[in-house]
Amino acid sequence: MTAPRTIGIGLLGLGTVGQGVWKHLTEKRADLESRLGVRLDLRWAAVRDPRKRRAVRIPRARLTRDAAKVVDDPRVHVVCELIGGTGKARELTLRALRAGKVVVSANKALLCEHGPEILDAVRRHGGQFLFEASVAGGIPIIKAIREGLVANRFDLIVGILNGTCNHVLTRMGEDGLSFAEALREAQELGYAEADPSLDVDGIDAWHKASILAWLAHGKWPPRARTLVDGIRQVSPADIDFARRFGYALKHLAVIRRDFARNWMTVGVYPALVPSRDVLARVSGVNNGITLRGDVVGATTLAGRGAGGDATASAVIGDIVDAIGALTGGAGHGISAEALRARERLGRGVRMGSLDEIVSPFYLRLSLLDRAGVSEGVYRVFTKHQVSIARVIQYEHPNQGRGTVTLSTYPVSERRMAAVVRELRRLRTVLGDPVVLRIFNPES
Amino acid sequence: MTAPRTIGIGLLGLGTVGQGVWKHLTEKRADLESRLGVRLDLRWAAVRDPRKRRAVRIPRARLTRDAAKVVDDPRVHVVCELIGGTGKARELTLRALRAGKVVVSANKALLCEHGPEILDAVRRHGGQFLFEASVAGGIPIIKAIREGLVANRFDLIVGILNGTCNHVLTRMGEDGLSFAEALREAQELGYAEADPSLDVDGIDAWHKASILAWLAHGKWPPRARTLVDGIRQVSPADIDFARRFGYALKHLAVIRRDFARNWMTVGVYPALVPSRDVLARVSGVNNGITLRGDVVGATTLAGRGAGGDATASAVIGDIVDAIGALTGGAGHGISAEALRARERLGRGVRMGSLDEIVSPFYLRLSLLDRAGVSEGVYRVFTKHQVSIARVIQYEHPNQGRGTVTLSTYPVSERRMAAVVRELRRLRTVLGDPVVLRIFNPES
C-alpha cells in the first residue's frame, strides 16, 4: 500500500464560520481521515489581524495576513472562501479557480452577483466550486437538489431562507413585539447586522433564491424580473389576524417553474402560510425549504439557517465531497461537466411575467369610522372583479377609525395592484394598505 | 474523445417501485446521460409473470423470468433489488455482490436482518451496496447522514418512519376514526398490507431504525435490547387528550447515543410529541426525521415515506451515485473502504439499558366510579415516587365508570413499569391502562 495522499486545506477568513470549520475539522480529523483514506493538512487561515483573540486556538504559524499566499500554495488543494462580500472574495475565488483548485464557498452574494464569471473559471480551468454553505446554513439543500433528488424536476421550490426575518416574525407573533423591537432584539442576539437591510428587505433571501433557481433550472433570474419584498410593513396585528384565518406569517422565497411553457418566476416576500404546512412550524432563526418534485412529491428540509457551527457543518460536508473528487471521484461539486449539464437544463427558460402570478391576498386597511366607508372600499374590489373570501372588521373606540382585514380569492398581481392603487386614492382609507400574499401550496 | 461508457442496469422485481424506476429512468434518460457522461442501458426487468398487465409499458424482450440471468449478465453493472423479503432477495443480492457489482436496494428487512452478511460480501468482493430507498422512501436521509452532515455526530435521531402508522394516527386524530376503521381505510387506499402487523406493530419502523442506528453509530442494535411497540392500543381519545395537553400523537423511532459513556438506545413506540415540534406537523403517509448533530444542531427532513414514485426517486438517486462510483469516483455508497470506517465508528458501542431510559409518561385509566377510587390510584404513584404533572378526570354518566388521563414528570421505564403492574392489580382499575411515552426533544 502506498502512503495516503495529503490534502491541504486553506481558509480565507476566520470569523465565526471559519473558526467553526477549524475547530470541528481539527476535532473530527481522525474520523474523517479514516473515512476518506487521506491525511488532512489544515495549512493556513488567512486573517486580517493574526494577533486578535479568538475563541478557537490556532497555532500562530498557521495564521497569515497574505490570503494570496494561501491560494497560491501548491500544497493547498481546497480553498475555503469565508471572507464574504464581492470584492476581495471575488478576486481570491477566481485566482484559486484559475489555478484549477477546489473552492468551497459560503458566499451567496458573490455567487449570485458574479455566478457566470465564477462558473466560467470552473469551466476553463477544471477546478470545482462547492457552495452548500451559501444557502440555508447547515441544511444539505444543495446536495438534495443535485444528488438525492436528482430524478426530479421541481415545479415548486418554496423556502424560509432568511433566519433574521424568521426570528423577527416569530418574536412578533409569539410576544407581540413590534417590528422595531424584534429587530433590535435580533441585533442584540447577533442575528442581524447593524445595517439590517440585507436581511429585512429581502436581499439576502433573494441571493439564496437565485442560487436555488439556477441550480434547479439552469438559469440566473434577473433581479429586475424578480419580486423582492421585505418585512418592514408587517405588524403584530397582521400575524395575529393571519393566525385567526388559519395561517402563519413567514418570509418566503418562491420559485415556480412551468415545464410545459418553459418559464419560471422567482419571488421573495412575506406571505401567509397555512398553519398545517410544515413550513409554518419552522420558527426562530431556522430555515426550511420544501421541494416539490415530479417523482418524489413534496420533500421538506428544515434546520439552522445560519450561525458559525451550522454553516461550518456545510463547509466541512463540501470539503469531504471535494476530497472525494480530488482522490479520483467524479465529484458532486460544480465541475466543468456538471456545468455543461446545467447549461442544457436552462436552455430556453424564460422568466414568467410577474403581473400574471396569481394568488389569494391578505389586506389590512385603516378606515375612517364613518357610515358608508366600508361600502366604498368593497366597491373597489367589485369594480376590479376581485372576490373577497373573509373579512374581519372592528372599530377602535374613540379614535374615529376602524380596521378591516380581509382575504381574497386568487387574483393576479396586476389586478391586485390596481385595487391597491385605487384604495390608496380613497380619502377614507388612512395610510398605506398592508398587502400580503397568501401562499397556496396546492397551486 | 472516446465514446461514452455504457452502464447496464437490471431490475429485480417490477412492482410499484420497479415500475416507477423504469418509467422515470426512461423519461429522464437524456438528462441523466448528459449529466453523467455515460449511456444508460435499461437491460432487464426480472418478473414472475412477463405477460401480466402493467401500468408501465416495457418491451417484452426486456422482461425475463430468470433473475439470476440478470444478475449474471456481464453487461449489467447495477442491480436494483426490488423484490423484497429475505429469501430470494437475499440470494440474488449476495450473488450480485460476490460478482463485485453495485446493488441498489429498497429492502429494509433484508439489510436489517442480514446486514453483516451483505456487508461482508461488499468487503470481500469490492462491490457497493446502496440503500437510500430502504428508509423513509424519497427523503434523502441516508445521504444526509453519510455526506451532507458528515461533520456531525448525532446524539439524537428521532423519526416518523412508518407511513401506515402515521396515516392511521392522522385519520384517528382528524376524524375520530377508531384504530380498526382507520386501518381498514389505509388498507383500502393501498397504504397497508392485508396483514398489517409489520406496520402497526412497529416491525417495519424497527427495521428502518436499525439501519439508521448502524449508519450513524456503526452498530446493529439487537432486537432483544430494543423497545418495539406498535399503535394497536391507541384510541382517538388518547389523541384528543394529547392535543389538550399540547401534543400530537406520533409513532416514533428514537435513537439516542451517549458519546461520553459510549452507549446507544433504540426504541420504536407511539409517543406524544410537542405540537410546536416540526415532526408534529408531519401527517398522513409522510415520514419525517430529525437529526441532532453536534455541529449543525437539529435538522429535519420530511416527505413521502412510501409509494412507488417516492421510492423510485431514491432508487434513481442511488443509481446516479453508483454510476459516479463506477466511472472512477470514490463512491458514496457502502464500499469496502466506507465499511471499514463504519466499523471503527461502532467499536466499543454498547446498548444502553432500556430500564434506565427516562421520559415523562401519559396514562389513560378506566376506573370504577366510586368514592375513594382515584385516591387509591394516586397512592400507587406516590409509593413509587412518580410525580404527576397534569390530570384530566371525567365520569361517564350512567356507566358507573370514569376515565382519568394524566401525564407524569420524567421517570425511568423500570419505575413506570412497576407503577403499571401495580395499577393493573387494583380491582378499581378496569382493563389495561394505556401507557404512552412523552417525547421531549430537549432531553
In order of A148, A155, A206, A351, the CA distances from A258 in angstroms are 22, 6, 20, 10
Residue for cell digits 429587530? Answer: A183
Tell me what pLDDT residue B135 has: 96
Is pLDDT of A324 > 70?
A: yes
The residues that bridge with B61 in the sheet, in sequence order, are none
Burial of A49 (0-12, 13-18, 19+ CB in 10 A): exposed
Average per-residue pLDDT in chain B? 92
* Predicted local confidence at residue B125, as pLDDT: 93
Tell me the C-alpha to C-alpha distance, in Å, between residue B149 and each of A115, A307, B95, B441: 25, 15, 32, 19
Closest B-chain CA to A291: B303
The Cα of A261 is separated from the nearest Cα of chain B by a number of Å equal to 18
Cell of A410: 386568487
Residue type at A122 in one-letter notation? V
Q: Answer yes or no: A28 catalytic.
A: no
The pLDDT score that the predictor gives to residue B344 is 82
The whole-angstrom distance between B381's CA and the closest CA on chain A is 35
The answer to whether B304 contacts chain A (CB < 8 Å) is: yes
Do the Cβ atoms of A312 and B280 come within 8 Å? no
**Is the CB of residue A146 less than 8 Å away from at least one CB of chain B?**
no
Catalytic residue among A208, A219, A250, A383: A208
List the single range of A209-213, A399-403, B160-164 with lowest mean pLDDT. A399-403
Those residues of chain B that have pLDDT short of 50 are 1
Q: Does A306 touch chain B (CB under 8 A)?
A: no
> In angstroms, what separates the C-alpha of A37 from chain B's closest C-alpha?
8
B68 φ, ψ (degrees, to nearest 5)? -65, -35
Matching residue, cell 367589485: A382
Residue pair B388/B360 in contact by the 8 Å Cβ criterion: no
DSSP state of A334: B
Q: What is the pLDDT of residue B398?
A: 67
Task: From chain B, pick out residues whose CB is under 8 angstroms from the CB of A278.
Answer: 278, 281-282, 288, 302
Distance between first and last Cα of chain A: 58
* pLDDT number for residue B364: 94
If you average pLDDT over every residue of chain A, what do you get?
A: 92
Distance from CA of A246 to the nearest CA of B (A): 14
Chain A residue nearest residue B330, CA to CA:
A329
Q: Do B151 and A316 touch (CB under 8 A)?
A: yes
A32·B132 Cβ contact <8 A? no
pLDDT value at A146 more than 70: yes
What's the confidence (pLDDT) of residue B47?
Answer: 96
Is residue A209 over pLDDT 70?
yes
Residue with cell 444526509: B144
pLDDT at residue A141 tops 60 = yes
- For residues A436 and B374, which has the higher predicted lDDT (pLDDT)? A436
Is the pLDDT at A356 greater than 70, yes or no?
yes
Identify the band that residue A397 occupies on the pLDDT scale cut at 50, 70 and 90. Answer: low
In 3-state terms, what secondary structure has residue A121? helix
Residues belonging to chain A:
443
Strand partners, A394: A403
What is the model's pLDDT at position A346?
Answer: 83
pLDDT tens digit sequence for A358-394: 999 999 999 987 777 788 899 999 999 999 999 988 7
Four-residue CA torsion sign, B350, B355, B358, B360: positive
Interatomic CA distance for residues A376 and A152, integer angstroms: 49
Tell me, what amino acid is at B311? T
Which of A290, A313, A332 to probe by mutation at the B interface, max B CB count within 10 Å? A313
Residue A35 pLDDT level (bands cut at 50, 70, 90): confident
Task: Give the Å distances, CA to CA, from A152 to A144, A429, B21, B311.
Answer: 10, 47, 12, 12
Asked if B327 and A330 come within 8 Å (Cβ–Cβ), the reply is yes
Q: Would the CB atoms of B148 and A304 count as touching at under 8 Å?
A: no
Residues in chain B: 443
Are B278 and A278 inside 8 Å of each other by CB?
Answer: yes
Other Cβ atoms less than 10 A from the Cβ of A230: the count is 23
Interface test with A, best of B26, B313, B315 (most A CBs within 10 A): B313
Question: What's the pLDDT band for A1 if we cut at 50, 70, 90?
Answer: very low
Ordered structural domains, chain B, with CATH: 6-137+309-346 (3.40.50.720), 142-304 (3.30.360.10), 358-438 (3.30.70.260)
Q: Check residue B156 and give its pLDDT.
A: 97
Question: What is the pLDDT, as a whole number, of residue B1?
Answer: 44
Q: Of B101, B108, B208, B219, which is the active-site residue? A: B208
Cell of B333: 455508497
User: In the predicted model, is pLDDT for residue A12 greater than 90?
Assistant: yes
**A341 versus B260: which is more confidently predicted?**
B260
Mutate to test the interface with B, among A174, A243, A283, A295 (most CBs of B within 10 A): A295
